[in-house]
């Protein structure tokens, strides 16, 4: 073969020519430009963005708007739109679940669409490190997910704070909102009969106390009929108020700022976990639909099962499960199970039925999951045929 | 294997590697199927080089292996003198490529797709977006979504994407696919202009006529192996030309020639090239004018009226069909 001489001497990489002087495309660190264009690529997916906005902002906004309208036009039968109770329902149930699903969908899109739409090959041919191509998707996706979740959550907080009940009605008794424990006790002392006869109470009732207008919440048989002693009635009312104060705080005028902050951060954490899992799984599988379905099942079916009471022989698995770890970081001020999947109430909240786990353990489990899925996704990205 | 020497552009590349692409024993298997089978390929710098083969011959796979999109199972290769995959990143900074059908994010505009790709290249690439779009004739549609582009427009956008890196070499996989005749002519002019700028253009194709018009040299691949390569004129010099003879009584003319050295090669020729009925005679490679005169003498002396004699040089297509004997055979 006339043209075949000795193989050409191997040429070592040389300093780049002009125009390539700031070119570090072998570096695994993505450039700001890569992240910015990746954000653009995701943001321009109109259908996806509309679906995400509807799920994460539209649905809670619609729910609150319908409550606002109801209260505005039929105030007697429709309670105020906001308040601590509604905040708990949305912040502990709806927003984290939908935030996770929304974030997982964005992650799966970011992790698979270059491949399925034929751009992966173009990107690899640029010579840019495949790891950098993968890592650019993380800040870009989070730049979409975090504000999206934040906007939905801000709407919820605003309505819950500014459209909260001005008077709390409990068992037909109007109670002033925003009382401290001492203030609530003082108010109870001044309205002893209302409190004794209408508030729930679980405890011994002195023999000389009876509800003047009929049996109260306690067992009738435990009360000795007789004249109501004002001092004893007042003491019992204060005792009942002390016992009922946690319940009173749950229907507080508006959610405390500290709780709103903690809950917001926790919901963002849930969303970030969903995004990283989605990105890794979709990169691994090279497609979007199946990973999205798997992650929805993960959040709606598997998580509620595994965060519950210990399953014999499976407790180690439960402890290493990210759903339990995230649930353990839920602010204690959020309510106990409200019927939505994946929600069993704050870690310190009464009635929490979760498998015990320390906060440190939970943080370690979350970090391990995020790292593992990032490594898996990046590994597949760097080894995949383009 | 047919090979001839392929000269590189003189003087221009002194001190640099002579070959834009160099492979030795390159092999790629997919399970039991060998898609690239011990390919020995030398592409001179500064040329337009055609990589020809029937469908399924392994053209795209070779390009994918060269670009590091998939790993080779055996052999060595280099791009612009850089050993690949060892110095793949360095090599790819100087290479632009379209592999297979060019596909882009359909929801983005052409310009936005190029921005995405430019961000993965060096910073200067962003400044080349506008000129690249101008050059491929897409500037007026650059802000339309790719979902509204025709196949030809996507091909041109693919070439624009290649130009973002100001490449020394372009690897274009079937760049003429989906183009109308005008688009093909534009693409051909574009390729030639890039070669004139000193770039190397390697294009794989099965459109032989276009390759013949565009390329200086070619390699023919069949079933994963390169079976011939070299400059087109030199390759065709070894091919057998045809003599079309327009005459009276073609049947008797064929019988007359049967007794000569040309008889076995003469066959009834269909009306073609403006000729009436006659014969098509395959001449020996390198046959001169005296051979044509001898045929004419035999026919005239036999009482055949010869109206016209038309020697036709072998085209790349006819030569391709001669050397790829298994064309169209799936296995």
> Which CATH number is B86's domain given?
3.40.50.300
Q: Which domain holds residue B121?
A: 2-237
Q: How confident is the model at residue B9 (pLDDT cuts 50, 70, 90)?
A: very low
Of B69, B76, B116, the CB nearest to A385: B69
99-158 of B, contacting A, C-beta below 8 A: 99-108, 112-113, 115-124, 126
Of the two residues B219 and A225, the one the predictor is more confident about is B219
**Cβ contacts (< 8 Å) between A19 and chain B: which residues?**
122, 124, 166
The reported pLDDT for the residue numbered A15 is 43
The whole-number mean pLDDT for each consecutive block of 10 residues of chain A, a chain of 386 residues, reads: 40 46 75 95 94 93 93 83 85 90 95 93 91 96 95 93 73 73 88 80 70 49 50 84 79 77 94 96 94 92 77 76 87 58 44 70 94 96 86
Which of A11, A17, A31 best probes binding to B when mutated, by most B CB atoms within 10 angstroms? A11
Please give the tally of structural domains in chain B: 2
Residue (of B116, B161, B119, B121) closest to A23 by Cα position? B121
Check A19 against B122: CB less than 8 A apart.
yes
Residue B30: its H or E element:
strand B19-30
The rounded Cα B314 to chain-centroid distance in angstroms is 16
Looking at the complex, does the CB of residue B167 fall below 8 Å from at least one CB of chain A?
no
Contact A41 B93 (CB under 8 A): no
pLDDT in tens, B121-143: 988 999 999 999 999 989 999 99
pLDDT at A268: 96
Give phi and psi for B69, each to the nearest 5. Answer: -75, -25
| pLDDT at position B276 | 59
Using a CB-CB distance cutoff of 8 angstroms, which residues of chain B are in contact with residue A7?
22, 24, 76, 78
- Among A366-380, B6-20, B64-78, name the one with the lowest average pLDDT: B6-20
pLDDT of residue B127: 94
Give contacts of A46 with chain B, Cβ < 8 Å: 107
| B323 is a domain residue | no
Per-residue pLDDT for B331 more than 50? no
**Mean pLDDT, residues B269-283:** 66
- CATH code: domain of residue B280: 3.30.70
**Interchain CB distance below 8 Å, B116 and A37:** yes
**What's the rounded Cα separation, in Å, for the pair A228 and A319?**
54
pLDDT digits (tens, 9 = 90+) for B192-206: 999 999 999 999 988
> How many Cβ atoms from other residues are within 10 Å of residue A376's Cβ?
14
For residue A31, the model assigns a pLDDT of: 93
CB of B1 within 8 A of CB of B226? yes
Q: What gap in Å lies between CA B242 and CA B280, rounded to an integer?
A: 7
* Measured distance CA(B102)–CA(B98) in Å, rounded: 6
Cβ contact B196:B180 at 8 Å: no
Partner-chain contact A4 B95, CB within 8 Å:
no
Q: Are B141 and B149 in contact (CB under 8 A)?
A: yes
**Is residue B80 situated within a structural domain?**
yes
Regarding whether B211 and B117 lie in a shared domain, the answer is yes
User: Are B256 and B197 in a shared domain?
Assistant: no
DSSP lists the bridge partners of residue B97 as: B171
Q: What percent of chain B has pLDDT over 70?
A: 87
Domain presence at residue B320: no
Contact A118 B103 (CB under 8 A): yes
Average of per-residue pLDDT across B18-35: 91
Instruction: Decide if B322 is inside a domain.
Output: no
Phi, psi at A10, each rounded to 5°? -65, 135
Q: Nearest chain A residue to B107 by CA: give it.
A: A45
Kindly report, residue by residue over A290-349, the tens digit of the pLDDT: 999 999 999 888 888 887 766 667 777 788 888 888 988 888 877 643 333 444 444 444
Show residues of chain A in contact with B121, CB under 8 Å: 23, 25, 126-128
Q: Which of residues 89-148 of A touch B (CB under 8 A)?
A: 113, 117-119, 121-129, 133
Residue B119, domain member (yes or no): yes
Q: Which of A309, A277, A185, A311 is nearest to A237 (CA)?
A: A185
Residues 6 or more apart in contact with residue A54 via CB below 8 angstroms = none
Q: Chain-wide mean pLDDT for chain B?
A: 84
Nearest of B285, B282, B284, B256 to residue B267 by alpha carbon: B282
Residues B83, B97, single domain; the answer is yes
Burial class of A151 by CB neighbour count within 10 A (0 to 12, 13 to 18, 19+): middle
Residues B148 and B179 both lie in one domain: yes
Question: Exposure of A287 by Cβ count < 10 A (0-12 exposed, 13-18 middle, 19+ buried)?
Answer: middle
Q: In the prediction, which pLDDT does A209 show?
A: 63
pLDDT bracket for residue B179 (50, 70, 90): confident
Question: Residue B13: which pLDDT band, with cuts at 50, 70 and 90?
Answer: very low
Give the pLDDT confidence score for residue A253 in this predicted structure.
65
For residue A170, what pLDDT is reported? 62
pLDDT of residue B312: 80
Give me the pLDDT at residue B284, please. 75
Residues B218 and B288 in one domain: no
**What is the secondary structure of B246-271 as a DSSP string?**
EES-HHHHHHHHHTSTTGGGEEEEPS
Cβ-contact B168, B158 below 8 angstroms: no
If pLDDT is split at 50, 70 and 90, which confidence band does B209 have?
confident
**What's residue B176's pLDDT?**
86
B181 and B42 in a common domain: yes
Nearest one of A33, A160, A113 to A278, comparing CA atoms: A113
**Are both B182 and B263 inside the same structural domain?**
no
Q: Searching chain A, which residue's CA lies closest to the CA of residue B63?
A: A125
User: What radius of gyration, in Å, describes the C-alpha atoms of chain A?
Assistant: 29
Contact residues on chain B for A36, CB-CB shorter than 8 A: 119
User: Has residue B331 been placed in a domain?
Assistant: no
* B120 and B260 share one domain: no
ipTM of the complex: 0.77
Taking only the tens place, the pLDDT of each residue in A171-221 is: 667 777 777 888 888 988 888 878 887 787 877 776 666 665 554 444 433
Any domain includes B164: yes
pTM: 0.76
Contacts of A19 (CB under 8 A, 6+ apart): B122, B124, B166
A25 touches chain B (CB under 8 A): yes
């Amino acid at each position: 073969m006339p043209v075949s001489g000795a193989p050409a001497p191997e040429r070592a990489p040389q300093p780049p020519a002009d125009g390539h002087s700031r070119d570090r495309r072998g570096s695994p660190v993505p450039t700001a430009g890569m992240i910015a264009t990746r954000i653009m690529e995701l943001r321009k997916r109109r259908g996806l963005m509309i679906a995400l906005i509807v799920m994460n902002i539209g649905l809670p906004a619609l729910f609150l708007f319908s409550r606002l309208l109801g209260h505005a036009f039929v105030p007697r039968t429709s309670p105020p739109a906001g308040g601590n109770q509604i905040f708990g329902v949305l912040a502990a149930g709806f927003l984290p679940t939908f935030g996770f699903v929304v974030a997982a969908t964005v992650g799966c899109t970011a992790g698979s669409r270059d491949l399925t739409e034929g751009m992966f090959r173009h990107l690899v041919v640029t010579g840019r490190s495949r790891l950098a191509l993968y890592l650019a998707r993380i800040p870009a996706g989070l730049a979409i997910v975090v504000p999206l979740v934040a906007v939905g959550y801000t709407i919820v907080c605003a309505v819950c704070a500014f459209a909260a009940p001005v008077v709390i009605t409990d068992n037909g008794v109007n109670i002033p909102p925003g009382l401290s424990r001492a203030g609530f006790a003082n108010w109870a002392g001044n309205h002893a009969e209302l409190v004794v006869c209408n508030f729930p109470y679980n405890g011994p009732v002195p023999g000389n106390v009876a509800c003047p207008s009929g049996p109260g919440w306690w067992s009738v048989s435990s009360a000795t009929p007789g004249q109501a002693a004002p001092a004893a009635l007042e003491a019992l009312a204060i005792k009942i108020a002390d016992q009922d104060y946690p319940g009173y705080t749950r229907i507080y005028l508006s959610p405390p700022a500290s709780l709103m902050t903690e809950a917001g951060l926790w919901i963002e954490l849930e969303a970030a976990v969903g995004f990283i899992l989605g990105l890794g799984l979709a990169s691994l599988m090279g497609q979007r639909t199946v990973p999205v379905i798997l992650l929805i099942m993960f959040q709606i079916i598997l998580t509620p099962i595994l965060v519950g009471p210990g399953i014999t022989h499976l407790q180690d698995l439960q402890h290493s499960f990210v759903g339990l770890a995230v649930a353990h970081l839920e602010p204690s001020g959020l309510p106990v199970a409200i019927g939505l999947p994946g929600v069993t109430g704050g870690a310190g909240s009464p009635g929490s039925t979760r498998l015990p786990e320390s906060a440190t353990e939970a943080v370690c489990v979350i970090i391990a999951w995020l790292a593992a899925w990032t490594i898996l996704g990046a590994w597949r990205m760097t080894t995949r045929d383009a | 294997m047919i090979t001839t020497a392929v000269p590189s552009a003189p003087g221009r590349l002194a001190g640099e590697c002579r070959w834009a692409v160099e492979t030795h024993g390159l092999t790629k298997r997919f399970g039991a199927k060998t898609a690239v089978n011990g390919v020995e390929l030398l592409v001179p710098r500064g040329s337009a080089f055609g990589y020809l083969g029937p469908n399924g011959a392994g053209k795209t796979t070779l390009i994918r292996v060269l670009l590091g999109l998939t790993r080779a199972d055996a052999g060595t290769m280099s791009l612009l003198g850089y050993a690949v995959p060892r110095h793949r990143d360095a090599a790819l900074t100087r290479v632009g490529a379209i592999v297979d059908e060019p596909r882009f994010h359909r929801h983005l505009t052409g310009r936005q797709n190029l921005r995405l790709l430019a961000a993965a290249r060096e910073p200067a690439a962003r400044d080349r977006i506008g000129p690249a779009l101008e050059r491929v004739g897409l500037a007026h549609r650059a802000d339309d979504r790719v979902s509204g582009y025709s196949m030809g427009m996507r091909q041109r956008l693919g070439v624009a994407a290649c130009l973002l890196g100001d490449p020394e070499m372009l690897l274009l996989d079937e760049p003429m696919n989906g183009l109308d005749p005008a688009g093909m002519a534009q693409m051909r002019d574009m390729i030639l202009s890039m070669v004139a700028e000193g770039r190397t253009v390697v294009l794989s194709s099965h459109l032989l006529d276009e390759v013949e018009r565009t390329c200086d040299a070619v390699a023919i691949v069949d079933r994963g192996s390169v079976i011939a390569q070299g400059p087109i004129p030199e390759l065709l010099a070894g091919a057998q030309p045809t003599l079309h003879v327009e005459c009276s009584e073609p049947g008797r003319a064929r019988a007359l020639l049967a007794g000569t050295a040309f008889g076995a090669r003469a066959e009834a020729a269909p009306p073609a090239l403006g000729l009436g009925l006659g014969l098509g005679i395959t001449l020996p490679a390198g046959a001169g004018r005296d051979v044509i005169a001898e045929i004419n003498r035999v026919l005239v002396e036999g009482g055949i009226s010869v109206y016209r004699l038309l020697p036709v040089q072998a085209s790349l297509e006819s030569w391709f069909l001669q050397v790829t004997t298994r064309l169209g055979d799936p296995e």
